[in-house]
Amino acid sequence: MHRGKGMKFVGDSRISATKTSQIPKDYSEYPGRTEAFWPNFLLKEWLAGSVFLVGFLTLTLVHPSPLGGIADPTNAAFIPLPDWYFLFLYELLKYEFASGDYILLGMLGLPGLAFGALLLAPFLDNGPGRRPGQRPVAVGMMLLALASVVWLTYTSASHVDWEARAEMDKPIPESEVAIDTEHDGYAAYEASCMSCHGGNLEGGPAAPTLVGIEYTAEEIADIAVNGIGGMPAGIFTGSDEELEQLSDFIMSVNESTE
Ligand code: HEC
């Protein structure tokens, strides 16, 4: 008797009733060429997975990824840079065909095309073959994408001064200076000076510290208005009274540390 005769089967809508070639034969029909899912296949998968997992964990421990530091609103010298995994998109925007008038192409067009192609991949490449050699288009595109991402990331990274960035990202050291935020001059300091000289007068990449300086209140007031060396003139634009309070505030911080 024919197997299953008189029985009703639940159909799979993807397989037409007349076409049976897509129904895989039982693995026992290919002795030596295939294997049982459990435990043979699963064990192999699991082993390969563990090797990758341990490899990744070791890599992250030995060579931590260069991630940016904590955001610091008082650091005016900070130059934003995408994290390493987005550097390739950032580098793409430096090319003439992807910037300026063509910026939309660089921002949306090319990346959209690449990720859109990824979505369409199952429809564009639906051959039955599983070996890389049988799928030259899909494998070629993948290798091309991979090579471009690696190349762009590498080019971008080689233009960055990583040591200077690490310095820039360093957290601001906890100040030992007592900052009296209730002081009359603090508001003026916060408004005009903090962006360069730091929230605790500790200085930053753009300006030296104002702690331990040897100026009189009059000299500080003069510097605030007329600048000094690399500090431009005209930074402070408030009233004379506010100026006096400002220099008094900087003096008071210096006195509190002596
Ligand atoms: C644009 C950034 C910037 C701002 C804003 C700024 N400064 Fe400066 N400041 C500097 C730089 C740079 C120097 C170092 C100048 C030099 O020696 O070449 C400096 C130096 C100083 C010095 C002398 C420090 C020393 O050790 O010689 C004083 C005092 C000072 N600033 C006060 C102020 C005050 C007060 C304000 C707010 C009104 C202010 N600064 C705002 C950039 C800035």
The yes-or-no verdict on residue 85 having pLDDT over 80 is yes
Residue nearest to atom 41 of ligand 1 (CA): 193
- CA 247, distance to chain mean position in Å, is 41
CB 198 within 8 A of CB 204: yes
The yes-or-no verdict on residue 4 having pLDDT over 60 is no
The yes-or-no verdict on residue 1 having pLDDT over 50 is no
Tell me what percent of the residues of the chain surpass a pLDDT of 70.
81
249 CA to centre of ligand 1 in angstroms: 15
- Average pLDDT, stretch 68-72? 70
CB 257 within 8 A of CB 212: yes
Q: Ligand 1 pocket test: pick from 231, 240, 251, 253 the residue with the most ligand atoms within 8 Å of its Cβ.
A: 231
Mean pLDDT comparison of 30-34, 149-153, 252-256, highest-scoring range: 149-153
More confident residue, 19 or 220: 220
> Closest ligand 1 atom to the C-alpha of 195?
5
- Is ligand 1 within 6 A of the CB of residue 207? yes
CB 127 within 8 A of CB 134: yes
Of 151, 21, 106, which Cα lies nearest the Cα of 143? 151
More confident residue, 231 or 79: 231
The yes-or-no verdict on residue 174 having pLDDT over 60 is no
Residue nearest to atom 6 of ligand 1 (CA): 193
HSE, CB side, 13 Å, CA atoms: give it for residue 144. Answer: 9
Q: Give the largest Cα separation in the chain, rounded.
A: 111
pLDDT of residue 10: 63
Q: State phi, psi for 61 to the nearest 5 degrees.
A: -75, -45
- Is ligand 1 within 6 A of the CB of residue 229? yes
Tell me what percent of the residues of the chain surpass a pLDDT of 90.
39
- Is ligand 1 within 6 A of the CB of residue 206? yes
Tell me the C-alpha distance between 111 and 82, whole Å: 16
Number of residues that this document lists for the chain: 258
- Is ligand 1 within 6 A of the CB of residue 196? yes
> Closest ligand 1 atom to the C-alpha of 247?
35
The yes-or-no verdict on residue 235 having pLDDT over 60 is yes
pLDDT band of residue 2 (cuts 50, 70, 90) is: low
Q: Ligand 1 pocket test: pick from 192, 228, 240, 254 the residue with the most ligand atoms within 8 Å of its Cβ.
A: 228
Contacts with 175 (C-beta within 8 Å, 6 or more apart), sequence order: 200, 201, 202
Please name the residue that has the structure tokens 């494998």: 139
The yes-or-no verdict on residue 8 having pLDDT over 70 is no
160 CA to centre of ligand 1 in angstroms: 28
Return mean pLDDT, the chain: 83
pLDDT band of residue 45 (cuts 50, 70, 90) is: very high
Residue nearest to atom 9 of ligand 1 (CA): 231
231 CA to centre of ligand 1 in angstroms: 5
pLDDT band of residue 212 (cuts 50, 70, 90) is: confident
pLDDT band of residue 171 (cuts 50, 70, 90) is: low
- Is ligand 1 within 6 A of the CB of residue 236? yes
